[in-house]
Amino acid sequence: MCFPKLVFAVLVTGLIINGSPPSNAGRQIDRTLTCPIGGETYVVPGTLSCTNLGQYFDTREITSCEWVKWPPVCPSNGFPVFKHDFSDAEIAHFTTLVDSDLWKKSRQDNLPRFMLYVIKKEMTTDHLELAVALLPAFWDAFEQGSGHWRRYALQMLGHYQEALKTLNASGDQWWTAQLLLTNLERRLGRFEKARERISGLPLDKLEQDSPWLHRFTTLGKLIKAKNSQLQRIPE
C-alpha cells in the first residue's frame, strides 16, 4: 500500500540523526522544531529509529514508536508541517491562510491533524491526495474516541469513490482505494454495502498468493461477522 509506507519512510528518515540510524530502536526522545509559519519553536515526542510491526486495515502503521505523529502540528497556529522546506512564496501564502477566518473556524471544529486536509484543499483537487490527507485525522479521532471519526470517514469515502474513476484498475493505488472503501463501510457498520463492494471486485483474476486476495478474504470474514472494530491486517 504505497502512500502510508511512503509517509512512514519519510517520517523515519526525518528522525534519523546525521543520516545514520542507531541500534536503540523505539526509544523516545524530545525533538525541538521550528514552525515555518511564524517561527514558533516547540517540542514533540520523537525517536532515533523506528521498526514497522505491521498495518491495520485503515492503513495505519503499527510501529515501535507509536507516539510519533506525522505531520507535527505547530501549537499556536495549528499549521501541519507536512514537508521539510517551504519556499518564500509558500510561507507568504500559508501565513495568510492561517490568519483567515476559515482556518480559525476549521481549527475550532476539528482535531489538529485535520488541518492537513485544509492545506491540501488549498493545493490540489486530486481526490486520492485529499482522501489520504484525511487519514491522520481519522486515525486520531478513532484513537481518542472522538465523534469526528464518522464525518472524516464519510469525507474519505467520497474522495476515494471519485478517485476510483481515474485510477488504473490493475494498479496498487486502485486496490488500496478499494480496500479503504470496503473497510470504511465496515467501520461505519454498513455491512451490506461492504459486501456488495467486495462482490464487485475481480478477485477471481488474482493469483492465489496475491496479498490483495488475502486481505479482501480476511476483510470479507470480518464483514460477514458484522465486526466493525479496528482490525490488523494478518501477516
Report how far apart, in Å, the C-alpha atoms of 172 and of each of 51, 211, 219 are.
23, 11, 17
Whether 208 is covered by a domain: the verdict is: yes
Whether 96 is covered by a domain: the verdict is: yes
CA–CA separation, 156 and 109 (whole Å): 17
Whether 230 is covered by a domain: the verdict is: no
The pLDDT of residue 9 is 35
- pLDDT over threshold 50, residue 11: no
Whether 231 is covered by a domain: the verdict is: no
Three cell numbers written together for 47: 525517536
The pLDDT of residue 25 is 58
Mean pLDDT of the chain: 89
Whether 234 is covered by a domain: the verdict is: no
Band (pLDDT 50/70/90 cuts) for residue 15 is very low
- pLDDT over threshold 50, residue 169: yes
User: 28-34 and 61-63 as β-strands: parallel, antiparallel, unpaired?
Assistant: unpaired
Q: Report the percent of the chain where pLDDT is more than 70.
A: 89
Q: Which domain holds residue 181?
A: 2-224
As a whole number, mean pLDDT of residues 36-49 equals: 94
Number of domains in the chain: 1
Three cell numbers written together for 102: 476559515
Three cell numbers written together for 107: 481549527
The pLDDT of residue 235 is 80
Contact 162, 146 (CB under 8 A): no
Whether 232 is covered by a domain: the verdict is: no
Whether 125 is covered by a domain: the verdict is: yes
The pLDDT of residue 129 is 97
The pLDDT of residue 27 is 84
Whether 89 is covered by a domain: the verdict is: yes
Contact 63, 71 (CB under 8 A): no
| Closest to 82 in 3D by CA, of 127, 121, 30 | 121
Helix (H) or strand (E) holding 45: strand 41-47
- pLDDT over threshold 50, residue 22: no
